[in-house]
Amino acid sequence: MADNGDEDAQYRIKEGDYVVLKRGDIFKAVQIQPKKKVVFEKQWFFLDNAVGHLYSTTFEIVSGGTLQPQRPKSTQSTCDAKEAGTDNRNIVDDGKSQKLTREDIETLKEQGLKGQEIIQQLIENSTTFRDKTEFAQEKYIKKKKKKYENIVTILKPSCRIMAMMYHGREPGKICHLRYDTLAQMLTLANIHAGSKVLVFETCAGLVLGAVMERMGGYGSVIQMYPGGGPVRAGVESFGFPTHFHDMLHEFPICHVNALLAGTLDTTAKDPNADAAQSSSTAEEEPTQPDPGQQGSPEEQSMDTSSGPDPPQDQDKEEKEKRKELKAQEKKVKMEEKRKKLAAAAAQLEGQNADGLVIASRFHPCPVLIGLLKFLAPSRPFVVYSQYKEALIECYTKLKEQGGTVNLRLTDTWLRHYQVLPNRTHPVLLMSGGGGYLLSGTTVATDNSKPAGSQRAEEPASKRLKLTDTEG
């Protein structure tokens, strides 16, 4: 199973691929498109030249925004037999140590000097550089590199990279879910190939994508969504193969009650989600904006009078044709939507799902109580919330209700380290918090009250997940 030429192709960047750009600790997800200008970290460039190169290649950005694969590790070009001070007792900050002015540096840049060369110039024109300690010199070079080296690495997207990217760039979009917390969720929910998993998230599709990656296209995922449609911007960036999407179902959360009561009509022509709009917000743009499906095709005056058309009528006819096409498309879309709803409903009906993952900006309590009903007994569930108090409420409610064991309210604390010879210490800044998790396992509910619980109000309509199998 070693690599060969045939397999080699899958490690190369292709046109249309979803990739992640990396510079330092900054990531950005983009799609490879011909002649597309990309702006990343105050630089602009075109990705055309990256096509055909292996993933994880580092490119240099040269003038005109073209990418050039970087030569193998340019060894630290700073002269090795360099002198260095032992301490800073004689270094005075007079603001005059750098003899190059800002203008000089700009000129160097305009001359098209490479980042490396500019840094070399800066070092040569720094009066204090030679008096600095070795460590301080290294630090100085590192800082200048960050500023003047125009390099970018192109990576294959993965859950690790996407989670770090979102947490760094747009934490608000993912409810401040830190990547180590996401890692806990995937593990605590025992997400794996072949299972049937329910996901309710408003994290731009990051959590959904992470779950899909862990399932590798085996099994099924039912995404419960609020509002007019599921948000999947994040899923797109994972660049999954098409067959991964065959396992993905979606179900509007506003139909959950109807489904449980058995009154959901999936044959209805118009599973219109307008009732659900109450909870959709501006930040969430459904991938398929739900048109207010009122107009039936008949109403759209499709007067397709055939016959020879005078030339001046061509315009009109074009319009008519377009209208007809649109109406047809709409019909097809509606039918598709109905089919999808029916398929998702069928998946849920058995109430035998294998796992439940919740991470949303909604109050987790009603979501959890509502969706737990779809889980088979002895299956794990995990709920994320940015706030501990919301999960305390969930915990209390579950204890009252019964039907779950092994409840744990946790969070994780993450610390990075700088590891360098004689300079090892924790990184100076660490994340203040990455949210909280409530996890547990479902068990069979029976008619006797769980011990030590207050009477839980059980709505009569609630179908018991199973009856005790006392033979």
Partner 1 sequence: MSFVEYSEFIQDGDVAIVYLGHDSMMPVKVQQGAQTQTRYGVIRHSTDLIGQRYGSKVTCSKGGWVHVLHPTPELWTVNLPHRTQILYTTDIANITMMLELKPGSIVCESGTGSGSLSHAILRTIAPTGHLHTVEFHQQRAEKVAEEFREHRVAHLVTVRNQDVCKEGFGVTGVADAVFLDIPCPWEAVGHAKAAMKKQAGGRVCSFSPCIEQVQRTCEALAAQGFEEISTLEVLLRVHDVRTVTLPLPDFGPDAAGETAAPPPAAQNHASLTCKTTTPPREMAGHTGYLTFATKPRT
**CA separation for the pair 377, 265 (Å, rounded):** 27
- Tokens 């409610």 locate to 397
The set of residues, in sequence order, having a beta carbon less than 8 Å from that of 127 and lying 6+ positions away, is: 96, 97, 98, 99
Query: Could you tell me the sign of the dihedral formed by the alpha carbons of 427, 428, 431, 432, in that order?
Result: positive
Which 3 state secondary structure label does DSSP give 46? strand
Which 3 state secondary structure label does DSSP give 19? strand
Smallest distance, partner 1 to C-beta of residue 330, A: 38
Which 3 state secondary structure label does DSSP give 59? strand
Biggest CA–CA distance in the chain, Å, is 97
Nearer to partner 1, 91 or 409 (CB): 409
Smallest distance, partner 1 to C-beta of residue 244, A: 11
Residue 50's nearest CA partner among 68, 26, 62, 65 is 68
- Tokens 């797109």 locate to 236
Smallest distance, partner 1 to C-beta of residue 224, A: 20
Report residue 293 as tokens.
């499906």
Nearer to partner 1, 417 or 459 (CB): 417
Nearer to partner 1, 236 or 411 (CB): 411
Nearer to partner 1, 273 or 382 (CB): 382
Query: Could you tell me the sign of the dihedral formed by the alpha carbons of 287, 47, 238, 184, in that order?
Result: negative
**Element containing residue 7 per DSSP (H, E):** helix 5-8
Q: CA end-to-end span of the chain, whole Å?
A: 51
Nearer to partner 1, 329 or 468 (CB): 468
What count of Cα atoms within 13 Å lies in the side-chain half-sphere of residue 357?
A: 30
Smallest distance, partner 1 to C-beta of residue 115, A: 19
Nearer to partner 1, 75 or 263 (CB): 75
User: Facing residues of 154 across strands?
Assistant: 21
Nearer to partner 1, 251 or 436 (CB): 436
**CA separation for the pair 379, 373 (Å, rounded):** 12
Q: Which residues would be at the binding site for partner 1 (CB under 8 A)?
A: 1-3, 7-8, 11, 54-57, 73, 158-160, 163, 179-180, 182-184, 186-188, 190, 192-195, 213-218, 354, 376-380, 388, 392-393, 395-396, 405-406, 408-417, 419, 421, 424, 436, 441-444, 446, 466, 468-469, 471
Smallest distance, partner 1 to C-beta of residue 22, A: 9
Q: Are 411 and 439 in contact (CB under 8 A)?
A: no
The one-letter amino acid code at 436 reads Y
Smallest distance, partner 1 to C-beta of residue 247, A: 12
Nearer to partner 1, 7 or 283 (CB): 7
Nearer to partner 1, 45 or 240 (CB): 240
| Burial environment of residue 97 by CB neighbours within 10 A (0 to 12, 13 to 18, 19 or more) | middle
Smallest distance, partner 1 to C-beta of residue 68, A: 17
Nearer to partner 1, 73 or 89 (CB): 73
Residue 50's nearest CA partner among 18, 27, 82 is 18
Smallest distance, partner 1 to C-beta of residue 281, A: 29
User: How many Cβ atoms sit within 10 Å of the Cβ of residue 71?
Assistant: 8
Smallest distance, partner 1 to C-beta of residue 10, A: 8
Nearer to partner 1, 70 or 266 (CB): 70
**Element containing residue 442 per DSSP (H, E):** strand 436-442
Smallest distance, partner 1 to C-beta of residue 180, A: 5
CA angle 73, 76, 77 (to 5 degrees): 110
Smallest distance, partner 1 to C-beta of residue 229, A: 27
Radius of gyration of the chain (CA): 29
